[in-house]
Structure 1
Amino acid sequence: MRRAFAALAVASLLAGCTVGPNYHVPDRAMAKSPAANRPFMSGQEAMFDQSPLPDRWWTLYGDPRLDGYLREALTANTDLRAADANLRRASEVVREAEAGRTVQTKIETAAFGAYVGGYTLTVPLDLPYSAVASASIDYPLDLAGGIKRGIEAAKEDREAVEAARDQVRVTIAAAVTRSYADVCSANVTLAATRHVLDVQTQTLSSINRLFKGGRGTAFDVTRARTAADKSAAAIPEIIAARQASLYELAALMGRAPSDYPVELESCAEPPKLDRPMPIGDGTALIRRRPDIRASERQLAAATAGIGVQMAKLYPQVSLAGSAGFANSISNFFTGSSFGGFAGPLISWAFPNRKAIHAEIAQAGDAADAASAKFDGTVIEALRQTETALDAYAREIEHDGALEKTRDDAAKSTDQANKLFRYGRTDVLNVLTAQANLAEAEAALAQSRATLIDRQVNVFLALGGGWEDAPTAPVPGQLSPNSSR
């Protein structure tokens, strides 16, 4: 009995030990480097603001209809529903891991008959029966902390899944905004093309009258009709692109394609920012981007996995107790039938230490790979953001130049039309001026669409839009610059 109590005392003292490294963000991690935490190199121009990005960045457009579409999408989108289900599953995995350190109970009963004799003897009808009934409890002490590390790894994995869910939300917000803008931009392009077509149709009518009056040629009429036909041929393609964006928007909102928002068909212009774009800095980006948080949590889980493997080198000790009855059925509930025991149970299978050390090394290699992936994710996030910022700034410059080109082409077309009416220029110059106007209008419309696309790319790179998630558990805002 004294030995049992001594073993219990030693087990109690050792129960607080946890093998394996305690996780903290590596000091040399890219997330901690000064180069990753400074203001963005491409974000110093006037169109950017160094203030923090708001949680729901799409409200910067001041478009209630867009806000409504996003509310619906962030509730009903099928990819987000699947991500929420994955998060719930990860939570259940944590519960399962935590159950490993709770009391385990077991109840057993058995009844059997006993008869001694050869196989040639006749079995008597009054065969004596005996019965056993027992209940046992088992509580693991987790001396080496293997269960604790397993729970830790499961929790870190859950937070990684949670971050992946947040990344889905970010992607959906950007996709909805992009599809919305694509519909409106297609309408702008459609209006510009129809305007050019109207001008070309009027010119064709004038040239046709001149031809009938003997002042022109059939060749002039054919060239004018060809220009008008070319503009008219572009219209179905624009309408098809608009319809595709409407179908995509419906799918993002969890609707059937035929249930697309019909009211958006008449959108006259894409959403616009009425202020410089808030972008924050590298530190805010690292704290905000869900993919960085997911990668950091995977590193934490891999670190805990080292302790899980190291614990296999130590014996498994638990507190156990059992009580029950065993006797013939006629004497089953007598005092002499009751018995039991209580004390520590030690289970140690004398493990293959070489194999376990190999498993420990594998876990360490997995943690090294997770660390490299963490650094790579931070670098890629910074690259995406710098690229998106620069592309947006250059597209603003491009748009300004195209707007000037369009204005000049419109002025040139008016001048050519006036000169033609007074007989001071030929048809070819008029058609050339109109062709230049058509190209300038199309290029400007495309630039306006590209400009919105570049804005969405910046918001997507900044990783905003997951923080305000009323339909899902609010995630802990994990900072890779702080140890856990």
Structure 2
Amino acid sequence: MPSKPEICLLQTCSHFHKRLPSIAGPIVLSLALAGCVVGPDYRKPTLTMPSHWGTKTSTQSAKAPELSRWWKQLKDPTLDALIEEAVAGNLDVASAKAKIREARASYREQKGALLPSVEGTASATRTRTAASDASSEATTYSQYQTGFDASWELDLFGGNKRAAEAAKYGVDAAEEELRDTMLTLVGDVASYYVQAREYQALRDLARRTAVSQRKTAALTQAEFKAGSATGVDAAKAEALASSTEADIPTYEISYATAVHRLGVLLGKPPATLEERLKAGGPIPRPKTEVSTGIPADILSSRPDVRLAERQLAQYTAKIGQAEANRYPSISLTGDIASSATSIADLGKKSTIGWSFGPSLTVPIFQGGQLKAAVDVAKAQRDQYYVAYQAAVLSAMEDVENAVVSLTQERLKHGKLSASATSYRRATDLSRTLNQAGVTDFLDVLDAERSLYSAEESLIESQASIATDYVALNKALGGGWDGEVDSSEPAVVDTNTGPHLAAAK
């Protein structure tokens, strides 16, 4: 039983045998539209997905996640503005836009291979023939020639069609890569903004605490001189204040690092945002409920998953492209030329010649290279199939981890808040009892140290909740869903027509 490509070839050869003397446009058109293609037709893989997320917590909801501009839920105008600026100016986004333009141009290039190519030719020669003997004279004449050359490869087995199909999937993949880049960008901007506000809060806490502890140290030093406190009390009070003050430069470094990274994410110099953010602001507080939907949602919401699926489609089409090279190819070539001894005579008194006919190329022996090329394409397709499965699993893992982190961090924050409140009462009580002479001064210092540590942990937990909220929305596929113009080139060339090269 002949295969489909072999049947196509037999039909084509039979057609040529019967009608070869009268090959014309309708015959060419019927061959071009034969529709024979080789290689597998792409079908989107059907993956078995769980009906619900593995971790059942109070923050989960079966309704579809609300991913459109999710950062607006944080109610922070400064963050909103930074994300807008980042999408417009980020260099990774600009690079991804250029990749889209490249993919679209490659697609147009591949589609052009399905059409005939026509070239115009023209020539002019001046010829002098030497005299054959003394009685004759030299002859000088001009020769002008113009014409057209045309060729058309009949895509009988769909090699060019598969190449165009792969290029079209490549455009889809490039667009998904841009979406994935913007998803990562939005998440990074939000995360580094949370970090900047966190380190500002920690720095301000260290400053306030250090001022209070420095006052306590001064008072203790005065009491020591008056004989109502010991040298140990004075030394420990001084050490505690100095230790807290030492935390301030550490937080300043971390704050500056976050701000500088934000500047670069916006496509600007690192120090651009220092003046803008120095006034400080609260750590963003996300809403309590986060909809996670069902695992199958990530197949359509995560751009990295969609990217992996488009790449799988692209490399499936490339199998057919490689397979088509193993079959015969037919090309139609023709030319028409006119020659005359003067330009005015071209097309009038000139000689006109033309030629037209098909050519058949049959691969007979290539040392197994063509079959090996197909095997290479199939192995590449398999790699992208596995990569697609891995992308889905990785996306599910991201969601599961983010849900657990956000849920547990909220519980931790509640405990830390209660702890800080208790330490605050303990500190006030220790000071009162110490002033009444009931407790030792070391109890006061220990209470102040514990309060400072508890308030540090509370701020860090608040920042972790915001960071986990960002991570969850990012894991669910929440990114930039606004219009993105990828047609504008990053570099606008000038003077690209024919011109003299500038002297170096």
Match in the other structure for 2:30: 12
State the Cα distance separating 1:424 from its structure 2 match: 0.6
Inter-partner Cα distance in structure 2 for 1:114 and 1:25: 70
**1:440-459 alignment, distance < 5 Å:** 440-459=454-473
Letter of the structure 2 residue corresponding to residue 425 of structure 1: T
Q: Evaluate the alpha carbon distance shift between residue 67 and residue 4 of structure 1 in structure 2; reply closer, same or farther with a 3 A threshold.
A: farther
State the Cα distance separating 1:128 from its structure 2 match: 5.8
Inter-partner Cα distance in structure 2 for 1:235 and 1:164: 41
Instruction: Return the match for 1:225 from 235, 238, 248.
Output: 238
Contact 1:324/1:340 (<8 A) preserved: yes
Contact 2:87/2:266 (<8 A) preserved: yes
State the Cα distance separating 1:367 from its structure 2 match: 0.9
Inter-partner Cα distance in structure 1 for 2:141 and 2:216: 116
Letter of the structure 2 residue corresponding to residue 418 of structure 1: T
Letter of the structure 2 residue corresponding to residue 48 of structure 1: Q
Contact 1:138/1:318 (<8 A) preserved: yes
Q: Which has the higher contact order (CA 8 A, sep 6+)?
A: 1
Q: Evaluate the alpha carbon distance shift between residue 4 and residue 356 of structure 1 in structure 2; reply closer, same or farther with a 3 A threshold.
A: farther
Match in the other structure for 1:77: 90
SS of corresponding position for 1:350: coil
Match in the other structure for 2:417: 403
State the Cα distance separating 1:59 from its structure 2 match: 1.0
Instruction: Return the match for 2:273 from 257, 260, 265.
Output: 260
- Between the aligned residues of both structures, percent identity stands at 26
Inter-partner Cα distance in structure 2 for 1:373 and 1:71: 32
State the Cα distance separating 1:127 from its structure 2 match: 5.3
State the Cα distance separating 1:111 from its structure 2 match: 5.0
Letter of the structure 1 residue corresponding to residue 49 of structure 2: P
Match in the other structure for 1:50: 62
**1:356-435 alignment, distance < 5 Å:** 356-435=370-449
Inter-partner Cα distance in structure 1 for 2:297 and 2:483: 19
Instruction: Return the match for 2:113 from 81, 85, 100.
Output: 100
Contact 1:326/1:338 (<8 A) preserved: yes
Measured against aligned partners, the alpha-carbon deviations of 1:194-239 in whole angstroms (never above 9, x if no partner) come to 3322332232233223212211122211111000110011112112
Contact 1:18/1:143 (<8 A) preserved: yes
SS of corresponding position for 1:107: strand
Measured against aligned partners, the alpha-carbon deviations of 1:403-436 in whole angstroms (never above 9, x if no partner) come to 2221121111111111100001111111111111
Q: Evaluate the alpha carbon distance shift between residue 430 and residue 129 of structure 1 in structure 2; reply closer, same or farther with a 3 A threshold.
A: same
Letter of the structure 1 residue corresponding to residue 460 of structure 2: Q
Letter of the structure 2 residue corresponding to residue 50 of structure 1: A
Measured against aligned partners, the alpha-carbon deviations of 1:285-337 in whole angstroms (never above 9, x if no partner) come to 11111111111111101110011011112333244432222466698656571
Which structure 1 residue ranges, 5 or more long, are not aligned? 474-484
Measured against aligned partners, the alpha-carbon deviations of 1:376-420 in whole angstroms (never above 9, x if no partner) come to 111111112111211121111222222222112111111111110
State the Cα distance separating 1:185 from its structure 2 match: 1.3
Structure 1 residue 202 corresponds to structure 2 residue 219 = no
Contact 2:213/2:240 (<8 A) preserved: yes
SS of corresponding position for 2:287: coil
Instruction: Return the match for 1:304 from 288, 306, 317.
Output: 317
Q: Evaluate the alpha carbon distance shift between residue 393 and residue 136 of structure 1 in structure 2; reply closer, same or farther with a 3 A threshold.
A: same
TM-score normalised by structure 2 residue count: 0.85
Which structure 2 residue ranges, 5 or more long, are not aligned? 1-17, 488-504
Instruction: Return the match for 2:355 from 335, 341, 344.
Output: 341
Measured against aligned partners, the alpha-carbon deviations of 1:415-468 in whole angstroms (never above 9, x if no partner) come to 111110000111111111111112112222222222222222212212211322
TM-score normalised by structure 1 residue count: 0.88
Letter of the structure 1 residue corresponding to residue 20 of structure 2: R
Inter-partner Cα distance in structure 2 for 1:366 and 1:420: 76
SS of corresponding position for 1:451: helix
State the Cα distance separating 1:149 from its structure 2 match: 0.5
SS of corresponding position for 2:460: helix
Match in the other structure for 2:497: none
Contact 2:107/2:167 (<8 A) preserved: yes
Match in the other structure for 1:3: 20
Letter of the structure 2 residue corresponding to residue 12 of structure 1: S
Structure 1 residue 241 corresponds to structure 2 residue 254 = yes
Inter-partner Cα distance in structure 2 for 1:68 and 1:434: 39
Inter-partner Cα distance in structure 1 for 2:308 and 2:323: 23
Inter-partner Cα distance in structure 2 for 1:207 and 1:155: 77
Contact 2:67/2:477 (<8 A) preserved: no
Q: Evaluate the alpha carbon distance shift between residue 247 and residue 115 of structure 1 in structure 2; reply closer, same or farther with a 3 A threshold.
A: same
Inter-partner Cα distance in structure 2 for 1:414 and 1:6: 103
Structure 1 residue 23 corresponds to structure 2 residue 52 = no
Q: Evaluate the alpha carbon distance shift between residue 217 and residue 2 of structure 1 in structure 2; reply closer, same or farther with a 3 A threshold.
A: closer
Two-structure CA RMSD over aligned residues (Å): 2.8
Letter of the structure 2 residue corresponding to residue 192 of structure 1: L
Structure 1 residue 34 corresponds to structure 2 residue 49 = yes
State the Cα distance separating 1:240 from its structure 2 match: 2.1
Match in the other structure for 1:482: none
Q: Evaluate the alpha carbon distance shift between residue 76 and residue 332 of structure 1 in structure 2; reply closer, same or farther with a 3 A threshold.
A: closer
Q: Evaluate the alpha carbon distance shift between residue 107 and residue 472 of structure 1 in structure 2; reply closer, same or farther with a 3 A threshold.
A: closer
Deviation larger for 312-321 or 81-90:
312-321
Match in the other structure for 1:477: none
